[in-house]
Amino acid sequence: MRAFVFPGQGAQVVGMGRELAEAYPAARAVFAEVDEALGESLSELIWNGDIETLTLTQNAQPALMATSLAAFRALEAEGFGIADADFVAGHSLGEYSALCAAGALSLADTARLLRLRGQAMQEAVPVGQGAMAAILGLDFAAVDQIARDAAEGEVCQAANDNDPAQVVISGHKAAVERAAGLAKERGAKRALMLPVSAPFHSALMQPAAAVMAEALAAVEIAAPAVPLVANVRAEPVSEPGAIRRLLVEQVTGAVRWRESVEFLAGAGVAEFWEIGAGKALSGMIKRISKEAAVRNIGVPGDIAALKA
């Protein structure tokens, strides 16, 4: 069995997807359609812009989705498609890419939703009030307890359960800093403050969740061609109403990536294709499931290797 997985924020690099667009008309068409949906040339920023502007949340989210879908359309052009997957999953914004690839969302709607999601998440908390930190070397239960102990009346919670030894915390800046110090005292190998602009996947994102609830209510969602393993549940979902609810919950809820991969491996998935920019998910998957076979599909050479 096979799962197609789609990366989240942090994978962005200037130039991503350009080789795909040059090699595959279907990939080039993805970037053109995203540009049209947003009313601006996001592709110009992706290929020729500066990394600081590309990394702004409202740009990075639709840009990473466009790159993933360009890679997916290139796969389709070579005879591989959603019928070759048993499940799809994505890390945070990657969940939207997964749903688009599986036919649950149109490309134009996905681009507009992610632009709005990025803006809403950025605007939910004034700059400087929130923070995130990666805690390395402790498991989820330990980090979850540290976050609770450090909160002291503020928001501090485990936001991304990435793999057995990497958990990201999110919340008020002072609380996250307290938690990072506490984590080191309790045996963490490292506690790294992350260069992010807002405390994603925490209760502080509630204003953004309200924005997304309204936006998602106005968008058509179809049943995906294969089940989505949802971030906030770490279990499969196919019913459009449930998908809509979980996409709203995802804004403030934890990304349960470790449990999602464990579910997939337990369901018989032996092969994971990471579709889009970077290889971050592949590293996590190998640390979660030692037996998993992982492929990256991000440049034409990856597809050539797959065909061979």
**Catalytic residue ranges:** 92, 201
> Left, alpha or beta for 294 (phi > 0: left; psi -120 to 50: alpha)?
beta
Q: What is the 3-state secondary structure (H, E, C) of 212-234?
A: HHHHHHCCCCCCCCCCEECCCCC
Which amino acid appears at position 73 of this protein? R
Classify residue 220 by its DSSP letter.
-
Phi, psi of 131 (to 5 degrees): -160, 165
For 150, the token pair is 């450090």
For 161, the token pair is 């359960």
Cα separation, 156 vs 183, whole angstroms:
13
Number of residues that make up the chain = 308
253: number of Cβ within 10 Å: 20
Q: Contact 56/122 with Cβ under 8 angstroms? A: yes
Burial class of residue 68 (count of CB atoms within 10 Å of its CB; 0-12, 13-18, 19+) = buried
- Closest to 73 measured CA to CA, from 304, 297, 307, 306: 297
- Closest to 233 measured CA to CA, from 275, 209, 263: 263
Cα separation, 162 vs 160, whole angstroms:
5
- 119: enclosing H helix or E strand: helix 107-123
- Whole-number CA gyration radius for the chain: 18
Which amino acid appears at position 269 of this protein? V
